[in-house]
Amino acid sequence: MLLGADVGNTNVVFALFDLNPDGTHTTRARWRIATDPRRTGDEYAVWLLQLLKIEGVDRSEIAHVIVASVVPRADHNLTVLCQKYFGITPVFAGQGKAAWPFALDVDQPSSLGADRALNILAAHHKYGGDLIVVDFGTATKFEMVDFTGAYKGGSIAPGINLSLDALVGKTAKLPRIAIRAPESRSVIGRNTEDQMLIGVFWGYVAMMEGLIARMQAEIGRPAKVVATGGLAILFDDATEIFDHVDADLTLDGLAILARQALA
């Protein structure tokens, strides 16, 4: 079995994969914990080993560990977790045998975050052709991947929750609201909360549709749009712009990259 860890700014997602003989993989389980760079390897172990037990998996069944991290301060403690409790030194995505297997045709290749690279890798592997990959996370990332799998660049916008936090945090009287799809497609709200929800939600949809349309025009060829991240499903019902919504894209990228590292 393969244990993967996707370390994001908000959450760490652990995933357990079965690596099948035919070169495919099956995601057996996934677990999420808030990202805290101060969390020790022992603290991770108390939580993770219990979840493995509930899943009916003994730690000795895990043969490989791969970590993709955009939080460098968390890397040491995750390494301690793997070495102390699994007897395995983890492979880090983008390094050594797990180097990115696609061209980085941008000005600063080293600045590409591991989560974004995994999305690029998995989207090309699963869907092929020219692609625009949109990841709705703490930030919303738009990536352009050409038909060869090369990364050609993209853009980064504040995530919708960051936008809402800024709106509420910088105003005295606006209430905190939950992000959800408005009940109506009207963009004229009749009360303050509805007006906030309309502005944040439909404003975000308009930004996303506009930016993707500009990217498609610049590419000059048909490009499929693949959406991933926790809020992708929320927006899927509000727009026709997505060709695929794939919640497992980043984790699939981890498993695909691990295959390369093990070859």
| Other CB atoms within 10 Å distance of the CB of residue 124 | 25
| Both structure tokens of 119 | 């999305």
Residue 50: CB partners within 8 Å, gap ≥ 6?
none
What span, in angstroms and rounded, lies between the C-alpha atoms of 174 and 93?
A: 42
Locate tokens 């980043």: which residue? 250
What span, in angstroms and rounded, lies between the C-alpha atoms of 229 and 233?
A: 8
Q: What is the CA radius of gyration of the chain?
A: 20
3-state secondary structure of 231: coil
Let me know: does 94 contact 88? Beta carbons within 8 Å. Answer: no
The residue among 51, 161, 62, 153 whose CA lies nearest residue 111 is: 153
Residues noted as catalytic: 115
3-state secondary structure of 102: coil
Q: H/E element holding 226?
A: strand 224-229
Residue 156: CB partners within 8 Å, gap ≥ 6?
139, 140, 141, 142
Looking at the DSSP bridge assignments, the partners of residue 224 are 131
The residue among 91, 116, 88, 86 whose CA lies nearest residue 102 is: 116
